[in-house]
Amino acid sequence: GAGVSQTPSNKVTEKGKYVELRCDPISGHTALYWYRQSLGQGPEFLIYFQGTGAADDSGLPNDRFFAVRPEGSVSTLKIQRTERGDSAVYLCASSPQVGGELFFGEGSRLTVL
């Protein structure tokens, strides 16, 4: 596609539920990043992929968070047993290569009630 696409744009769920957030990067971009942004804050790094492999997952806050990119294109961020503190906008970005400009999606706003 023309840009990075994220779905859903909004997700409201109950505490304890499982959530999946999808990111469709710009075609051909090998690097893909996930960030979390709370209101009034800058994006906080979660994980990035180079191809299919997670090159750095040091930003994932705990083992409830997991991300995959099985074919080196679309990525899914998975959150188990959601907590109210997980409420945030989850941003995905892709880049033609590691170290290149990041192109961000519009984000998925997650609200955990």
CB closer to other proteins, 80 vs 97: 97
Candidate segments 16-24, 60-68, 73-81, 93-101, binder of other proteins by CB under 8 A = 93-101
Near other proteins in 7-46, by CB under 8 A? 35, 40-45
> SS3 for 28?
coil
For 49, other C-beta atoms within 10 Å of its C-beta total 24
Neighbour-count burial of 74, counting CB atoms closer than 10 A to its CB (0-12 exposed, 13-18 middle, 19+ buried):
middle
The shares of helix, strand and coil residues in the chain, as percent rounded to the nearest 5, are: 5, 50, 50
Q: What are phi and psi of 85, to 5 degrees?
A: -70, -10
Residue 1 binds other proteins (CB under 8 A): no
Q: Please, what is the minimum distance in Å from the beta carbon of residue 80 to other proteins? A: 25
Site pattern 40..79 for other proteins (x: CB under 8 A): xxxxxx---------xx-----------------------
Beta bridge partners of 96: none
Q: Which residues bind other proteins (CB under 8 A)?
A: 4, 35, 40-45, 55-56, 91, 93, 98-99, 101-102, 104-107
